[in-house]
Structure formats: structure tokens, C-alpha cells
Structure 1
């Protein structure tokens, strides 16, 4: 069969969506299906990888950080992809990645061509949007678009049961498959490296992540442990707020901001870091979200300090019963600083990191999630609805 993936972000641009979608495409290709990816042209400096799937790109607008984020940026992808999907070789099914505007365009194109589609509900954007805007009109519009994108699909795949429950509570009756996510352990794995006095936040840091708390925590930590660095790798709408807060606290020289890097480079940084960091803002209506960046860190053998509510804290607590995975703590600067001090004073030795990576490869590899997603897509392509 011919299957199409539609996403504004894909390899070689690093992101959780890129890693997952490429794993799904690879799984479908390994089953001898033809896969075409309709995506955006990557930022300058990224070389297109050699892949089994056919990756077709189109120029898009990007924000000043190089990310496809914002109304105009989304439209620059969504409008062309509508026509691209109309005129591409007829697929048996389509897998579409958020934002909801892309989902609605895919719904319309698929309706016109009578093609079934699967919606990847990794996030629920209308919940997160409350941190980016206070406009009730914008929020209502986005929620309606997201409902339409979800309800028009023949199947939904999602990251967790918590997200599934939110979708069901909306009254969406589309069958839902919880695939999970996991780490691409072909790219994230234990790689022995000299340890560095470094705490690493890798991935997006939007308002609903609440990563600004890390500036206060790190400032408190530095009073007893000078010489460490806090590094943010990725894109985020909170970048300027975090930078300003670091300036106010007098720690700007110890806080770094870097653009996204290829998986191999991020794996090397995680392998050398004292620990990785992840946060989720309490009381923001997005407590059901899972910090998927946790998986890549564990697969690299790097312990995680997670601050906030939701399923990530419970997950780390469970993993800690088997291997040393890090520390789930309260969303509080003092609690985060205490966790930093504890791991800085007793860093994970190489044997512990190797054991952690081996555990991740066995239990949270993206392979199984990709297989479940591929099964769901092929069910839809074959006419099954549940």
C-alpha cells in the first residue's frame, strides 16, 4: 500500500515528533509498504538523511528562532500541504501530526479524495494554548479546530491514557489507540563520555512547561556548587523570559541557550551531563502531559530531574524501583536545587548509566510504540475502524 505522513516537522530537524514519525515510517517501510512524507523544508545546515520513505519538502516561514510556530508559519505549511495532498499519488491512509490547523486541512483533503486518515494526538493544543493567549475567541476557535481534526479521523493514536481520557471527555467517539512513545534507541544509547558539570534541558520550553523555574533553582544550586552550567537545547517561547530571569539572578554567564542539534550530538551531550531536566507547570490545565524528553535521556544513560505534576513523576518513581533513573520532585526552586545538589555530590557512575540505558532499550524503546502505530494505520487502510 501507499501511505502518507503529513507533518510540519520531520527528520533531519530534531524533535519528539520527528523521532516518532520517522520510526513509524520506518516500521511501515519494513513491512514493504510505500511511504511518502509531506513535510517542511528543514532549516539551513541540516542534511537530508537517507531513508526508506520518500521525504518531500516544501519551503515554509519560520520564526526568528528557526521554528515553524505561529499563525503565519502554520498557514505557510497548511495551505500548500492541502494542495500537495490533493495531488500526491493516492494513498490508502494518511497519518497527520498536529497542529490542529494541519489536521483540519488534511481532513478536508481526505474528504475530497475519500481517503481515511489517522490523527496523532501527541498533545492537545487547545489546552496548552491558554498559556500563550488570553483571547477567548482564539481559544474557542482552536478547540473547535482540534475537535474537528480528531472527530474526522478514522483512528486516533496517542501518547498516554491520560490524553486519551481528555479526548473521550470531549465527546470524541473516534477509536483511540494508546501507542506510548519511547526513545529511538538506535540514536539514543549509552555512550561512555567524561562527565561534565552540566545540567541539560533538551527540547521545547513553552509557557506550559514552566521551565523558567529552573533559573531560580540553578541560582540556589550555584551558591554551593559553582562551576556548573545550565544548558537549554531546543526552541521555546519562554527563551527571553528565562534569559531575563538569569540576568536578574546574576547567573547569565552560567546559563546557555543552543539551537536544536542532531540526535547523535544530543546523545553525546546527554551522555556527558550530570543530569537532564524536565518540567511541567502545575495548575495550567496540562497536567496530563508526559515529558517525552525523559525517554531519550534515559536511553542515553542520563538520569532525569523532573519537576511538576502528571504521569512523568509517577513513571520515574516506578523506574527507580528497578534502576537509578533520577528524581521526581515538586515544582519548587528549593526542591529542584536540592535534587541537583544530591546528584552533583554523588553522580551516576558509568556502570549505573549503562544499566539505565539497557533498561530503557528493553522497556521504553520507540520500536514498540511505532509498531502499535503502524498496526493502527494499516487497520484503517484496510477498512477496520476499531
Structure 2
């Protein structure tokens, strides 16, 4: 009987490993395709003649439309399956980049169309992506390690993409950039066809009230809500700030490459952080990120601007991977992987939509956004320290 059980465990583990490998290959190809051009999008809008306010309005529309579309994506996954949603998302992002080719014609109609397409792609791809990851990751113990590994794979793809994009822009043109990006997207679909051992169409039903009934979900998703404000500023406003200083696409490509290298450094290590130490690691990451933002403001230095990107990239992994490990482990344990994927994406997008809408109505947007990032990180640090104190108090 032991041999029988051992055989079936090993067989099941082999099936899961095969699915995970194919999923990771698909993710790597997809991230290369996305990062070839994505970081240049707001910059190319400025180059095409759009004002900074128009770019911020585009970002606000994208993020705010994204929030309700996450729930639409969840419904569609239940109807047609997660892999089909990834394929549809890939087609949408191809249409997005083809449409982007006409950005130089100007006008709000193209800008709004791009925002809607971006929101459709983001929700359809990432809700399905996270669901497939959780379903292909095996046991609760394995999901944390796999989460760190997947972050490293995304970061590696994110590092290659801007390098490829910069080379294409140096020797070619925007159309070549778009074609290469679409080719990588098409290639990313192929490994998904070999995911044989996962539940492609979920049957999970859980209300928002029931999902957030317990403290861990409230804690982790509130943390993501606050931390995503920093991500919006770091991911959009900081590259825009760098571009206004140096005025070249090469400077933006360097930003993306530095971000990705720094994430790769700690991705695999952070995936095996013991559960009891995660809050300490998250607090450390938040504190140092907060200090970096303060130094950026009070000590303007070109060298530090780029060095700080490396530092923040490392710290991002220290915060995101443990936080996601908490969420993914709970999702597998309670069997609400799809709901977790939906709410995680919606919670991340909502505050960024509010942020960019507010910035579009203000002047001096860089200083304001940097200040908002500092405040949100400060609140998050206080909350995390309070949680650590309460956990310590309840265990003694």
C-alpha cells in the first residue's frame, strides 16, 4: 500500500512539475513580449505630442476601468476556461500595440481606445495567469518557492525585453518593435497547450463578504492596497520623471533593465522565507523603500536616481513575494484560487486609478506623487508593525 501511495504521489508530483514548467515558459515568453515596449508607452505618448496631463488621464482611465473588468474576467474564466482567456488576452494586447502604432495621429479617441484595450488585456491575462499559477503549483509548501521562482522568471523576461526594445529602436523603428512583441506573445501561447493536469474551468463560488471574513485576507489585501500606490509612482511617475530630466528613450530602457536585474537577485531566495519571518522581511523592505524615497527628494543626484532603482527593485521582491506567498497559500488551502486572483488584481489597480485621476487634476505632479508614495508606505509600515506586535502578544 505504501508503494502504491508513493507511486501515485510521485506521478502526481511529476504531472504538477510538468504543468508548472510549461506555465513558467509561457510566462517568460509573455513577459519578454510585454516588456519589449510597455515601459516606453507613456514616454512615446509624450514624444507623439500628448501632454503629461493627457498621459495621466490615460493611466487613470486604464486603472479605473480595470477594476470592474476583473470580475468580468472571473465570470468568463468559469465559462470558457483560464487558458482560453490567456489566448484572448494575447489577441487583445496584439490589437493594443497595432492601435498604438497610430498614436502619432493624436486625439482622445485613440487614447481612450488604448486605455480600454489595456484594461481588457490586464484583467483577462492576469486573473487567468494567477489562477493557472496557483492551480499548477502543487502543495501549500511548494507554492511559496514557486512564487519566488515565477517572480524571477518574470523579472528575467522583464530584463531582456527593454534591452531588445532599445536595440530595435536604435537600429529599426516602432513598427519592428510591435511585430517582435507580437511574435513573443504568440510563442507564449504554445506551452499553455500542454497544461494537462490542472482545473482549467473552476467551479468556485464565494462572496466578497465571505472572502474577507478572516483577518489574514484583510491584512494582506490592505497591505497590497497601500503598497500599490508606491508601485504606481515607481512604475509610471518615476520613469516619466527620468525622461523629463534626460529626454532619451535609452534612459528609460536603463530604468527597466536595472529594475529587472535587482528583482532577479532576490526572487528565488525570497520564495523560501519562513512564514514566521515574513512580516519582519516585509517591514524591512517597506522601511528602506521609505528611506530611499526621502533621499530622492532631499538629495537630488543623477547617480543616486539610478542606484535607487536597483535598491527599490530588490526591496520590491522582499515585499511582494512574501505578501503573495501569504495570499496564494491561503487560496490553495481554502480553495478560492480564482476569487483570490480577482480580488488581488482589483485591489492593486483601484488605488492607482484614484492616484492618477488626482494627479491629472493637479500641478507639480512629480513632487505630489512622491509625497503620496511616502505617506502610503508610512501608513503601511505602521500597520505592519502593529500586526507584528499583536501577533507577538497573542502567542505569548
TM norm. shorter chain > 0.5:
no
Between Structure 1 and Structure 2, the one with more helix by share is 2
Q: Which has the higher contact order (CA 8 A, sep 6+)?
A: 2
Between Structure 1 and Structure 2, the one with more strand by share is 1
When normalised by structure 2's length, the TM-score is 0.26
When normalised by structure 1's length, the TM-score is 0.26
